[in-house]
Structure 1
Amino acid sequence: MRLTILGGGGFRVPLVYRALLDDPGRAVSEVVLHDTDPRRVAVIAEVLARLAQGHPAPVPVRVADGLDEALEGAGFVFSAIRVGGTAGRIRDERIPLSEGVLGQETVGAGGVLYGLRTIPVALHIAERAAALAPEAWVINFTNPAGMVTEAMSQVLGDRVIGICDSPVGLVRRAARAAGADPAALADPDRAGYDYVGLNHLGWLRSLTLDGTELLPGLLADDAALGSFEEGRLFGGDWLRTLGALPNEYLHYYYFRRETLDSVRDTRETRGEFLDQQQGGFFERAAAAGGPDAVYALWERTRLEREETYMAHSREASGGWQRDSHDLEGGGYDRVALALMHAILGNSGTRLILNVRNGTTVPQLAPDAIVETVCEVSAHGARPLPCAPLREDQLGLMLQVKAVERATVEAALFKDRGAALRALALHPLVDSPAVAARILERAAKEA
């Protein structure tokens, strides 16, 4: 089976390829890379060549000349594009910050701006995939993952599934902190968990192992909470008040003042850091002198990237360093591989995914994309029923979903009113006048 990776020059593509090499199932017979930047994809192909060295049965890699060539004949398509590159991300961050509101890649005004720029390109990909590979499953990595998956689903229906490693990373870290073996989570006869929300806005509300509910004991134990990322981010007092473990990105909502204060006067936004780091990597890699040197450079750069993830939120919550368990996370590569195997093997595996709502959250439209626990088979991912949401959870979900749907509408129809509505209604944007100025400046600087 052919796997196509769109955004094949992306920095994390080697993680996917390494997972494929380590995969005992070996479902993939060829990897096809496509990227709009020939230099980047050439460097990443060299990193993959180094990973394949000495492997008894390496997966062949090919770089496609164009999008149609990459899509034709694909069994799975991983879409991990970045429209506008890191320069676009910098604008998404800096323009809102200049107006005193949060600028972030997927959250707040920055997420809306990124969505407006990305959705038209994602829709074109969906249309070409439907025409050239109608039986392929499209796995969307592209941020903002919820709204991009929602837009693509208008063309592909249930054959597009969004993934994120934040929820599964949270579940694993919570299980370990509660004294359970995270490996047991893979056995549905032993373990269960209730996670529901939108992408980068969800809550782990139950975690059971062998019939025992682990979450209340974990929430009551400050030492255990202090042993993992989300516990340190939110603090025991607030977590006990919520009665749940929030996704790490909810720190922007619950502690908006502290996070904004930590980033408002920053000399370097996350986008600026990545622009310098990755730009430097690709420049040095081009002159590194062989796959071994390029691979070593990639590994050093990757570790630095992971260590500095969400640095401003950590600064706002006490200024601590990520440890090995925090760095482990969920892994896009492992989530994607597990999803692919579950579809091919018709296994009924349970994964947290971004899929059409159906009746999971009755207050949302059936076609709205939610992030929740799904059962995966050859027919795709089916969201499982969940306990009713609390009013505060549902209220935040409804408001942010309205923002996501307005962003899709604005991108589809070039509707300024919908774009203004998306920005002004976001919980992290405090004024329609501010939203209008952000939109005007973004249009000028595009």
Structure 2
Amino acid sequence: MKLTILGGGGFRVPLVHGALLRDESDDRVTEVVLHDLDEPRLRAVSEVLAQHGRDLPHAPVVRATTDVDDALRGADFVFSAIRVGGLAGRTLDERVALDLGVLGQETTGPGGLAYALRTVPVALDLARRTRELAPEAWFINFTNPAGIVTEAMQSVLGDRVIGICDSPIALARRAMGALDLDPNHTDIDYVGLNHLGWLRGLHADGRDHLPGLLSDPAALTRLEEGRLFGAEWVAALGAIPNEYLYYYYFAREAREAISAAPQTRGEFLRDQQDAFYAAVARDPSGAAAQWRRVREERDATYMREAREEDEERDEADVAGGGYEGVALAIMAAIGRGEESSMILNIRGAGAVAGLPSDAVVEIPCRVDRDGPHARTLPAVEGHMLGLMQRVKAVERLVIEAASLGSESAALKAFALHPLVDSVSTARALLEGYRRAHPGVAALFRRP
């Protein structure tokens, strides 16, 4: 099988390659094509992969290219982790919002909407190229904002686009670990949108075990989410929120912590990764060791704004997810019939009552050779559904704005987002992002 990785010079690509190296089945991926527009980054990541796969006879052949058509042609699977505008763009997304007193975060709030405005036109072009050059390929999207980008691309590729995120399965695994449940014999009840969801149940042996965890404050505070939200609030919700809901439930605290920090998350990653790529350029022989060191530092500082100054992330919290494992499981299920249950971003098809049937939602599903199949879910509580409906409406307005160059749709999206406090602020945000990003400004100048 041929796997194409768009954004192949990205820092997390070795995680996907590592998952491929652990796959020794007869029908595994045998060819990996890395595509990126940045040749030095491609060279650096290619060197990391070469060092990781050295002396492994089953390692896939890896090649790199800056020609997207060459990368896509004949692919069986396409994995997309592009970042339009790079980390420099992310830092602008964060700072424009913070300067206006609004949460500055990559995917949640106005920063995520700005990111989507830049990314959706590129994603749609990639979808059209994939339809032409690899019509039978399955497109696995990790590009953020994953829910928005996946839904936009489905207008071209239909259900062959699957969005993935490591947060939901990491949460579920941590909760199952706290309850000593076997993941292979536990049904997960999770519902939401990307970066906005709740773990509502863990069913095994004929009963739901989650209430036992919710009623145990000591056990809850041993979980990352219990520490983020507080055991009392989690118990009151009757569900464990995805970590990104911290930005909704504790918006003031998150905004103040990010504003007070010497760097935003984007600025930290920009400086860290610039140093990594420069170090590999100077000494390619140490690429793999450099990558491991930087990855450990990156994981340890994730969502720093939500933790106390001296609080470190537990090793289990860092290791609990793994989007690369989800991607490999999808390829195994579709490519060789290894049926699996996952939490994915797919077209809901009525699985979440109260949302449009063609809306992309993040829910448990079964995946086989025909792709993902949504599971029937219990009704969603009012406060959860209300937030999902509002954010989904905003997501669809952003897709309209990015697809049609509609300034009015963009303004409406910013103004209706739950984390934006007024229409005046929304106008200032839109104008700020137009000044910061030439691509956003050009979007609204199209005839």
* TM-score, normalisation: structure 2: 0.96
Counterpart Cα distance in 2 of 1:304 and 1:272: 14
The aligned runs of 1:31-430 (5 Å cut-off) are 31-180=32-181, 184-186=182-184, 190-290=185-285, 293-315=286-308, 320-430=311-421
Deviation at 1:222, TM superposition (A): 1.4
Report SS of the residue matched to 1:407: helix
Partner Cα distance (2:87, 2:235) in 1: 38
Post-superposition offset of 1:266? 2.3
| Structure 1: 5+ residue stretches without partners | none
Deviations 1:5-60 (A, max 9, x none): 00000101011111101113251010000001000011000000001112132211
Q: Secondary structure at the match of 2:307?
A: helix
Cα deviation code 1:322-344 (max 9, x no counterpart): 01101102101101001111112
Shift of 1:65: 3.7
Distance in 2 (CA, whole Å) between partners of 1:260 and 1:31 is 40
Deviates more, 1:152-161 or 1:335-344: 335-344
User: 1 CA distance for matches of 2:89 and 2:125?
Assistant: 19
- CA deviation profile, 1:88-144 (whole Å, cap 9, x unmatched): 000000000001010111000000000000000000000000011000000001000
Tell me the alpha carbon deviations over residues 339-381 of structure 1, each in whole angstroms, 9 at most, x when there is no partner.
Answer: 1111123343110000001010121112110000011111111
- Aligned residue for 1:238, secondary structure, equals helix
Name the aligned partner's letter for residue 242 of structure 2.
N
Counterpart for residue 443 of structure 1: 434
Describe the superposition over 1:377-403 as per-residue Cα deviations: whole angstroms up to 9, x where unpaired: 111111111000000000000000011
Residue pair 1:228, 1:325 contacting (<8 A) in 2 also? no
- Report the Cα distance in structure 1 between the residues aligned to 2:19 and 2:435, rounded to whole angstroms: 42
Question: Shift of residue 319 of structure 1?
Answer: 5.6
Query: 2:57 & 2:334 partners in 1: Cα distance?
Result: 26
**Distance (Å, rounded) in 1 between the aligned partners of 2:206 and 2:55:** 45
Question: What displacement does 1:289 show?
Answer: 4.1
Which stretches of structure 1, 4 residues or more, deviate above 4 A after TM superposition?
none
The 1-side partners of 2:256 and 2:310 are apart by 13
Q: Do 1:8 and 1:41's aligned partners in 2 also have CA atoms closer than 8 Å?
A: yes
Q: Do 2:24 and 2:58's aligned partners in 1 also have CA atoms closer than 8 Å?
A: no
Amino acid at match of 2:17: Y
Identity across the alignment (%): 54
Aligned partners of 1:47 and 1:264: how far apart in 2?
A: 35
C-alpha distance in 1 between matches for 2:402 and 2:90? 17
Residue 425 (structure 1) shift: 0.6
- The match for 2:440 is none
- The 2-side partners of 1:309 and 1:404 are apart by 25
Read off the aligned partner of 1:324 and give its amino acid letter: E
Matched residue type, 2:357: P
CA contact (8 A) 1:106 1:143 kept: yes
The answer on whether the counterparts of 2:47 and 2:284 sit within 8 Å (CA) in structure 1 is no
CA distance in structure 1 between the aligned counterparts of 2:392 and 2:295, rounded to whole angstroms? 32
Measured in 2, the distance between the counterparts of 1:57 and 1:161 equals: 27
**One-letter amino acid of the structure 1 residue matched with residue 410 of structure 2:** A
Q: Distance in 2 between matches of 1:347 and 1:358?
A: 23
Cα distance per residue 1:243-301 (max 9 Å; x no partner): 001100001001111111111232200000000000110011100142xx111011000
RMSD between superposed Cα atoms in Å:
1.1
Deviation digits for residues 57-83 of structure 1, max 9, x if unmatched? 221101124010000010000010000
AA paired with 1:100? G
Amino acid at match of 2:163: G
Please say which of residues 223-232 and 30-39 is displaced more in the overlay: 223-232
Secondary structure (helix, strand or coil) at the match of 1:327 reads helix
Structure 2: gaps of 5 or more residues: 438-447
Residue matched to 1:18: 18
